[in-house]
Chain A
Amino acid sequence: MAVPYVVFLLAFAAYPILFALVLVFLQWDLVTTPAFAGLDNMRLLANDGRFWRAVGNTFVFLSIHVPLQIAAALTLALALNRPLLFRSFWRAAFFLPVVISGAVVAILWSNLYATDVGLINGLLVRLGLRAVPWLTDPSTAMPAIAAMVTWKNVGFYVIIYLAGLQYIPRSCKEAIEIEGATTWQRFRHLTLPLLLPQTILVVTLSTINGFQLFIEPYVMTGGGPLRRTYSIVLYLYTNAFAYQKMGYAATIGVALAIIIGAVVLIQRKVIGRAEAY
């Protein structure tokens, strides 16, 4: 009974993983026969300014997105965790963008961010502020995309934090209140440490998600201005689809998998150490 699944695994999991490692050593445009390229792809990758620019862009994205995601999700989850009227309505509202396609969100927000006719600048001007060229200024484009992705995914992380909050024992809350702790002290010394497993999960998932950034820059900026929003997956896609360089595109994929693994491991180590204090 498991045979169809085993066949599927061989064809669409085992084969692609092994062939990815073979492609790293090949030069192939899908038309002519593949040629052995030795370490050329890896050498090219090591010296490819555009690839490292994309890696740098991703770290800019993550440095804004991950902290913002934690802060926003935690704030909303704490609000939802109180005795509330219409709790399921609020929860559903926060979760709404999660169910909407990333392509739609990207198209919608390119309009919200538009410099002259966008809703956001319309609001800013009304408040007496100056309009910001969100997606066309090299210094604001990536932060704008990071803010949008945070907005899209926050509902997902709210659910994770809510689940964690429900496990904090009432007796702990009562005990710390009897000790005369302020709301802030209670949050800082009880809630936050007890939510550490959830925070680690949020950091890991939003980091992995951030490394896979593709449709947002593809739709909103094309990777510009000045390649400041060019993402790793967008570069991989361009190499495969526009330049027909299968070996090099696969090399980028393997490098991306290694980078994701390394960053997630380092994050876990660092957060684990912070916990020890």
Chain B
Amino acid sequence: MKLLGRVALYAGLTLAALTFIYPFLWMASATFKPLAEVGSIALFPDNPTLDNYRTMWARAPFGRALFNSTLVAGTITLSVLVFGSIAAYAMARLRFRGRPALNAVTMGVLLVPGQLTLIPMYTLIVQLGWIDTYAALIVPYLFNATAILMMRQFFLQIPQSLIDSARMDGMSELRILFTIFWPLSKPVLSIVAIFTFMGSWNEVLWPLLVVREQQLMTLPQLLTVFALGGGAGSIGVSLASAMVLVVPVVIAYAILQRNFIESMASSGVKG
């Protein structure tokens, strides 16, 4: 009876795991299938081909989109870490007027749904003349309230004696932050880095609003426009373009899965 229960448990888990993994495997294999085979459930194509990738690469600037996505997500992540941690350090360890208010406002920002500010943000970008620029994709995300609160929380636990002795040695606050706090804060910094990068990498609504020029589109946007606009022409081609977005993420996830799960679960970021 007990053995039977174990067998049922593992059978159930295997079935569940397949439900989550198989569609992606099927997608990967479909990109190597000629049109006639795409509908088949088989994972291994009878006549493997790279045609879908050639078509996809020739019809839309996916190389450029890969570059754009990397640039945008990379810059945002770097800024959220560097400038965000400066703000978090000030909010945790420095005394200045308005600090309690700043903490409260940062928490309040988290409660405002993005849809409320979406249109005013869009009109702001239009008025700044930033439509079809990298600035439109990057600047509104340079700081992140969730990240600042997480880093602040972590910085609060670092002993004051470390700061005091560093100040005695004449270190500037920025040096204290980057040479003493950063090395101690690797866990929280990696959590912030992952969810910030993933949030930006997968974001699609904002780019759809502020970018119309194909050369400036990020991957999820180009992919959506390409699949919807009929540019792809066939399932295989549109799935091949999706692979450009998915493969780097799956590789990173395979290596750092524990960090990914911790990061995305604690921030509430869902692609």
Residues of A at the B interface (CB closer than 8 Å) are 1-2, 4-6, 8-9, 11-13, 15-17, 19-20, 23, 28, 30, 76, 79, 82, 84, 88-105, 107-109, 111-112, 114, 116-119, 122-123, 151-153, 155-156, 159-160, 205, 208-209, 211-212, 214-215, 218-219, 232-233, 236-237, 240-241, 246, 249-250, 253-254, 256-257, 260
Find chain B residues with CB under 8 A from A241 CB. 208-209
Question: A156 contacts which of B122, B143, B264 (Cβ < 8 Å)?
Answer: B264
Given A151-B19, A219-B227, A249:B119 Cβ within 8 A:
yes
Find chain B residues with CB under 8 A from A116 CB. 39
| Interchain CB contact under 8 A, B228 and A219 | yes
Question: B265 contacts which of A103, A114, A156, A211 (Cβ < 8 Å)?
Answer: A156
Find chain A residues with CB under 8 A from B235 CB. 111, 114, 117
Given A16-B117, A102-B204, A253-B118, A1:B94 Cβ within 8 A:
yes
- Can you name 23 A-B pairs with beta carbons within 8 Å? A1-B94, A2-B91, A4-B87, A5-B143, A5-B148, A9-B143, A92-B257, A92-B261, A93-B20, A99-B250, A99-B264, A101-B219, A102-B220, A104-B245, A114-B235, A118-B39, A119-B39, A123-B41, A211-B113, A219-B224, A233-B115, A246-B119, A253-B119
Q: Closest residue to A95 on the B side, CB-wise?
A: B261
| Interchain CB contact under 8 A, A2 and B96 | yes
Determine how close the nearest CB of chain B comes to the CB of A65; give it in whole angstroms.
Answer: 13
| Interchain CB contact under 8 A, B253 and A108 | no
Determine how close the nearest CB of chain A comes to the CB of B104; give it in whole angstroms.
Answer: 12
Determine how close the nearest CB of chain B comes to the CB of A96; give it in whole angstroms.
Answer: 5
| B158 interfacial contact with A, CB 8 Å | no
Find chain B residues with CB under 8 A from A99 CB. 198, 249-250, 253, 260, 264, 271
Q: Mark B1-37, 1 if CB is under 8 A from A, else 0.
A: 0000000010011001101110110110010000000
Interface residues of B in 58-103 (CB under 8 A from A): 83-84, 86-87, 89-91, 94, 96, 99, 102
- In the bound assembly, the distance between CA atoms of A14 and B165 in angstroms comes to 38
- In the bound assembly, the distance between CA atoms of A111 and B35 in angstroms comes to 13
| Interchain CB contact under 8 A, B26 and A119 | yes
A-B residue pairs, 5 tightest by C-beta: A117-B39, A5-B87, A16-B117, A16-B120, A101-B202
Find chain A residues with CB under 8 A from B209 CB. 237, 240-241
| Interchain CB contact under 8 A, A90 and B13 | yes
Given A19-B123, A95-B261, A257:B253 Cβ within 8 A:
no
Q: Closest residue to B5 on the A side, CB-wise?
A: A82
- In the bound assembly, the distance between CA atoms of A30 and B119 in angstroms comes to 11
Find chain A residues with CB under 8 A from B26 CB. 112, 119
Q: Mark B97-131, 1 if CB is under 8 A from A, else 0.
A: 00100100110010011111111111110100000
- In the bound assembly, the distance between CA atoms of A236 and B119 in angstroms comes to 9
| B173 interfacial contact with A, CB 8 Å | yes
| B270 interfacial contact with A, CB 8 Å | yes
12 additional A-B pairs beyond A6-B102, A96-B20, beta carbons within 8 Å, are A1-B89, A8-B143, A99-B249, A99-B264, A99-B271, A100-B249, A102-B220, A102-B270, A114-B235, A212-B115, A241-B208, A256-B113
Determine how close the nearest CB of chain A comes to the CB of B267; give it in whole angstroms.
Answer: 10
Q: Mark B197-221, 1 if CB is under 8 A from A, else 0.
A: 0100110110011000000000111
Find chain A residues with CB under 8 A from B142 CB. 8
Find chain A residues with CB under 8 A from B250 CB. 96, 99-100
| B187 interfacial contact with A, CB 8 Å | no
Q: Closest residue to A209 on the B side, CB-wise?
A: B270
- In the bound assembly, the distance between CA atoms of A109 and B265 in angstroms comes to 24
| Interchain CB contact under 8 A, B257 and A260 | no
- In the bound assembly, the distance between CA atoms of A97 and B114 in angstroms comes to 23
Find chain A residues with CB under 8 A from B239 CB. 107-108, 111
Find chain A residues with CB under 8 A from B16 CB. 76, 79, 90, 93-94
Find chain A residues with CB under 8 A from B202 CB. 100-103
Determine how close the nearest CB of chain B comes to the CB of A259; give it in whole angstroms.
Answer: 10
Question: A88 contacts which of B119, B242, B245, B257 (Cβ < 8 Å)?
Answer: B257
Q: Closest residue to A76 on the B side, CB-wise?
A: B16
Find chain A residues with CB under 8 A from B117 CB. 13, 16-17, 20, 253
Given A101-B246, A212-B115, A241-B209, A2:B90 Cβ within 8 A:
yes
| Interchain CB contact under 8 A, A240 and B41 | no
- In the bound assembly, the distance between CA atoms of A2 and B268 in angstroms comes to 25
Determine how close the nearest CB of chain A comes to the CB of B74; give it in whole angstroms.
Answer: 17
Determine how close the nearest CB of chain B comes to the CB of A166; give it in whole angstroms.
Answer: 13
Find chain A residues with CB under 8 A from B105 CB. 9, 13
| Interchain CB contact under 8 A, A108 and B261 | no
Determine how close the nearest CB of chain B comes to the CB of A24; give it in whole angstroms.
Answer: 10
Find chain A residues with CB under 8 A from B205 CB. 214-215, 233, 237
